[in-house]
């Protein structure tokens, strides 16, 4: 059976990454639907599938029937009950609080939250707090609405919860108490659609756990944009422990409570939590310095480059200062004009070429950025910044082999460059070489502890946090890799 047409059709309709995560289920699901619809072969079924949105939904239901259970990663619920909910209640002064379970499957996650809320605050809390669960799979939503579960749904739930909030049915299943069942509303919604419906907006907390593995990177970006838009201005986004560090959330900040991390839309300057800047894409917990999105911002405050000449109007030094200032303010056309004038005067000005490359990276013009980096390396074979930029570009293009070569070359030239060791650790993590990741994080930590935060060899990239926070993050990553 040729699966490619089915994969393309499913991806087009719901954005699922079939090849990496769901392919074992796909042939069996297709065969089941062929039998159900009484077709002779997959070609006949595919033609039918192309013209039936209902049949596409039935097929999706079969391949996304995910197993979940009550109180999965229990500490997330505890943090919500003990810290987030009380703070939101205090701020909103009896106004309605909205909590969303995105990709809720058969409902164990939102029901766990409802049980925890009722247990802590009593059933009247649902006059103030509304809980919404949504999923693309209509079959699991029917299960969720029914509120009846098998024993496998309780592997981590405490017995008192089962006794207090469930009744055993005649077929040895567990029926959820009506007050809890009524507290959660379920809807069908596609996470990867261009925008969420209005009823999902203004959320205070969104749970989005163990779902993103089903999406390719471009779809993840759409989903995260939707989630960010759905949060209110002080909202929180909670991901699973293994996913939290694997995403770039440019519009959100990362915070830590009790060794658990989540994202918040609130300005970090207004928070009472320990705040940590946005991480980049990794399959295991990790903490990078530079955003791995397709947009790399210019830093809020420039580091003053070393200059020997006077900064007079129209001099290379003055033009560079103006180019940097305009880049920081995101006046890229003006910055390009300054840098072009500078390079006309001094074609081999390395700092200008590196800044030029950084802006092109920010604008996702990677070929131009690569060309500039190649020019710098040709002029100065040992230029560390151009090599780091080249590695970052390769990572953005998901060319991990080339990225590793560039970062390794930096460690050969300057073994104490903790930035390069950090990137190598992340690449090892992506390849699930956890021994290699542990080694490189150890080196990054060692060299950072002996160095100043400014010595990272990337003058024009953002660094909105201090040395202590980075050291804390590296140690956290090492702990998770042991």
Q: Is residue 288 part of a domain?
A: no
Q: In the prediction, which pLDDT does 269 show?
A: 43
> In terms of domains, do 187 and 53 share one?
no
Q: What is the count of structural domains for the chain?
A: 3
- List the structure tokens of 325: 């200032």
> In terms of domains, do 383 and 465 share one?
yes
Q: In the prediction, which pLDDT does 152 show?
A: 79
Q: What is the 3-state secondary structure (H, E, C) of the chain?
A: CCCHHHHHHHHHHHCCCHHHHHCCCHHHHHHHHHHHHCCCCHHHHHHHHHCCHHHHHHHHHHHCCCCCCCCCCHHHHHHHHHHHHHHHHHHHCCCCEEEEEECCCCCHHHHHHHHHHHHHHCHHHHHCEEEEEEECCHHHHHHHHHCEECHHHHCCCCHHHHHHHEEECCCCCEEECHHHHCCEEEEECCCCCCCCCHHHCCEEEEECCCCHHHCCHHHHHHHHHHHHHHEEEEEEEECCCCCHHHCCCCCCEEEEECCEEEEECCCHHHCCCEEECCCCCCCCCCCCCCCCCCCCCCCCCCCCCCCCCCCCCCCHHHHHHHHHHHHHCCCHHHHHHHHHHHHHHCCCCHHHHHHHHHHHHHCCCHHHHHHHHHHHHHHCCCCHHHHHHHHHHHHHCCCHHHHHHHHHHHHHHCCCCHHHHHHHHHHHHHCCCHHHHHHHHHHHHHHHHHCCCCCCCCCCCCCCCCHHHHHHHHHHHHHHHC
**How confident is the prediction along the chain (482 residues), in pLDDT tens digits per residue?**
778 788 777 767 665 545 444 445 678 788 888 888 889 888 898 889 888 877 877 777 677 656 678 998 888 999 999 999 999 998 887 679 999 999 998 999 999 999 999 999 999 999 999 999 999 888 889 999 999 998 878 876 567 889 999 999 988 899 999 999 999 999 999 888 888 899 999 999 999 987 776 677 777 888 888 999 999 999 999 987 656 544 555 677 777 776 677 888 865 444 443 333 333 333 333 333 233 333 333 333 333 333 444 445 568 888 888 888 888 788 889 989 999 999 988 888 998 999 999 899 888 899 999 999 999 998 888 899 999 999 999 988 889 999 999 999 999 888 888 889 999 998 998 888 889 999 999 998 998 888 765 555 665 555 445 677 778 888 888 888 87
**247: domain CATH number?**
3.40.50.150
Q: Cα 347 to chain center, whole Å?
A: 40
> In terms of domains, do 52 and 99 share one?
no
Q: Is residue 151 part of a domain?
A: yes
Q: Is residue 225 part of a domain?
A: yes
Residue ending a domain, choose from 250, 276, 302: 276
Residue ending a domain, choose from 63, 92, 108: 63
Q: Is residue 299 part of a domain?
A: no
pTM, two decimals, is 0.51
Instruction: Give the residue numbers spanning the domain of 458.
Output: 316-481
Q: Is residue 284 part of a domain?
A: no
Tell me how far apart the alpha carbons of residues 36 and 426 are, in angstroms, rounded to a whole number: 46
- List the structure tokens of 463: 């660094």
> In terms of domains, do 52 and 79 share one?
no
> In terms of domains, do 334 and 454 share one?
yes
> In terms of domains, do 58 and 196 share one?
no
Q: Is residue 69 part of a domain?
A: no
Q: In the prediction, which pLDDT does 21 show?
A: 43
> In terms of domains, do 57 and 80 share one?
no
> In terms of domains, do 254 and 189 share one?
yes
Q: Is residue 170 part of a domain?
A: yes
> In terms of domains, do 476 and 368 share one?
yes
Q: In the prediction, which pLDDT does 104 show?
A: 93
Q: Is residue 286 part of a domain?
A: no
β-pairing, 231-238 vs 203-207, is parallel
């Amino acid at each position: 059976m040729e699966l490619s047409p089915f994969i393309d059709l499913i991806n087009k309709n719901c954005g699922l990454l079939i090849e990496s995560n769901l392919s074992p289920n796909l042939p069996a699901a297709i065969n089941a639907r062929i039998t159900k619809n009484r077709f002779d072969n997959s070609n006949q079924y595919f033609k039918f599938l192309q013209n039936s949105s209902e049949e596409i939904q039935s097929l999706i239901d079969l391949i996304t029937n995910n197993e979940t259970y009550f109180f999965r990663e229990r500490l997330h619920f505890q943090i919500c009950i003990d810290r987030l909910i009380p703070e939101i209640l205090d701020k909103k002064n009896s106004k309605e609080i909205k909590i969303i379970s995105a990709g809720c499957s058969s409902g164990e996650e939102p029901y766990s939250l409802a049980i925890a809320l009722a247990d802590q605050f009593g059933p009247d809390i649902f006059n103030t707090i509304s809980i919404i669960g949504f999923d693309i799979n209509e079959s699991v939503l029917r299960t969720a609405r029914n509120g009846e579960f098998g024993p496998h749904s309780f592997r981590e739930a405490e017995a008192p919860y089962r006794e207090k909030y469930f009744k055993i049915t005649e077929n040895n299943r567990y029926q959820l108490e009506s007050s809890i069942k009524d507290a959660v509303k379920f809807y069908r919604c596609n996470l990867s659609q261009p925008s969420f419906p209005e009823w999902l907006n203004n959320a205070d907390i969104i749970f989005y756990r163990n779902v993103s593995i089903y999406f390719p990177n471009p779809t993840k970006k759409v989903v995260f944009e939707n989630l960010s838009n759905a949060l209110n201005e002080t909202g929180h986004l909670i991901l699973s422990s293994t996913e939290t560090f694997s995403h770039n959330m440019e519009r959100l900040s990362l915070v830590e409570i009790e060794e658990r991390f989540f994202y918040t839309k609130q300005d970090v300057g207004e928070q009472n939590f320990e705040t940590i800047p946005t991480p980049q894409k990794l399959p295991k917990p990790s903490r990078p310095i530079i955003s791995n999105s397709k947009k790399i911002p210019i830093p809020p405050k420039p580091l003053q480059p070393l200059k020997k000449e006077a900064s007079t109007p129209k001099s290379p030094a003055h033009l560079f200062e103006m180019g940097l200032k305009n880049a920081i303010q995101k006046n890229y056309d003006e910055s390009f004009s300054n840098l072009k004038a500078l390079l006309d005067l001094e074609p081999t000005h390395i700092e200008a070429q590196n800044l030029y490359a950084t802006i092109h990276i920010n604008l996702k013009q990677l070929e131009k950025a690569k060309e500039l980096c190649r020019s710098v390396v040709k002029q100065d074979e040992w230029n560390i910044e151009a090599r780091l930029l080249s590695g970052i570009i390769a990572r953005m293009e998901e060319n991990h082999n080339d990225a590793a070569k560039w970062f390794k070359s930096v460690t050969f030239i300057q073994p104490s460059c903790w930035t390069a060791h950090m990137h190598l650790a992340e690449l090892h993590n992506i390849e699930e070489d956890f021994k290699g990741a542990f080694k490189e994080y150890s080196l990054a930590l060692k060299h950072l502890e002996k160095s100043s935060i400014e010595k990272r060899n990337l003058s024009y990239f953002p660094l909105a946090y201090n040395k202590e926070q980075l050291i804390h993050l590296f140690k956290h990553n090492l702990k998770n890799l042991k």
